[in-house]
């Protein structure tokens, strides 16, 4: 399975978990999207720095782009594969949804 497919599945699974699994519905709030904008800004900077310097390299057979590391285009955004944005979104949303859900659960049992 390619990194692209796994990233898309991760996004779908994290949204399903947020909306229907844990019912936190973070993605329906303006606060979530404003917070995520801050996170994704730093994610792009970090990913770009790591991939632009070739500290992290990707197999071109499993990503949208090719092996040429460019700032924009060819499936890359500031040197990082676009799949990293999708995977990062899924990771952050899942973490935040579980955090909110567990906080609500703790308050309910108190």
- pLDDT tens per residue across span 22-58: 999 999 999 999 999 999 999 999 998 999 999 988 8
Compute the CA torsion angle 10, 36, 57, 67 (nearest 10 deg): 80
For the cut 90, the answer to whether the pLDDT of residue 80 exceeds it is no
CB 2 within 8 A of CB 87: no
Give the rounded percent of residues in the chain with a pLDDT score beyond 90: 63
pTM for this predicted structure: 0.89
Q: Could you give the CA distance from residue 67 to residue 57 in angstroms, rounded to a whole number?
A: 9
Q: Mean per-residue pLDDT for 65-73? A: 83
């Amino acid at each position: 399975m390619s990194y692209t497919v796994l990233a898309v599945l991760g996004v779908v699974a994290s949204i399903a978990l947020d909306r229907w699994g844990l019912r936190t519905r973070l993605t329906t709030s303006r606060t979530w999207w404003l917070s995520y904008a801050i996170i994704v800004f730093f994610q792009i900077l970090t990913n770009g720095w790591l991939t632009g310097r070739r500290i992290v390299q990707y197999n071109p057979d499993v990503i949208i782009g090719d092996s040429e590391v460019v700032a924009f285009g060819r499936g890359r955004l500031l040197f990082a594969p676009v799949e990293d944005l999708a995977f990062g979104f899924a990771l952050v949303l899942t973490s935040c949804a579980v955090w909110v859900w567990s906080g609500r659960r703790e308050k309910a049992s108190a």
